[in-house]
Amino acid sequence: MSQSPKKTSLRSVARSAATDPQPTRAEAEEAVRTLLRWAGDDPTREGLIDTPKRVASAYEDWFSGYKEDPEEYLLRTFEEVEGYDDMIVLKDIRFESHCEHHLAPIIGRAHVGYLPNNKVVGISKLARVVEAYARRLQVQEKMNAQIARCIQKVLEPKGVAVVIEAAHQCMTTRGVHKQGVSMVTSSMLGEFRKNPLTRREFLSVIGNPASNFDG
Residue number with CB closer to Zn ion (152 or 169): 169
| Rounded-to-integer distance, Cα 51 and Cα 33, Å | 8
The nearer residue to Zn ion, 170 or 184, going by C-beta atoms, is 170
Residue 33 and residue 108: Cα distance in Å, rounded? 30
The Cα–Cα gap between 129 and 53 comes to 29
Tell the smallest beta-carbon distance from residue 168 to Zn ion (Å).
6
Q: Which residue is nearest to Zn ion (CB)?
A: 170
In angstroms, what is the minimal distance from the CB of 49 to Zn ion? 29
Closest CA to 160 of 88, 84, 213, 69: 88
Residues forming the site for Zn ion (CB under 5 A): 99, 101-102, 170
Q: Which is nearer to Zn ion, 104 or 145 (CB)?
A: 104
| Nearest residue (CB) to Zn ion, 88 versus 139 | 139
Which residues, listed in sequence order, are joined to residue 106 by a DSSP beta bridge? 97, 168
Tell me how many degrees the CA angle 18-150-159 measures, rounded to the nearest 5: 150
Output the smallest distance, CB 108 to Zn ion, in A: 13
Q: How far is the CB of 170 from Zn ion (least distance, A)?
A: 3
Decide whether 146 or 198 has the Cβ nearer to Zn ion: 146
Closest by Cα among 90, 129, 92 to 112: 90
CB of 102 to Zn ion, least distance (A): 4
What is the rounded CA–CA span in Å between residue 123 and residue 133?
Answer: 17
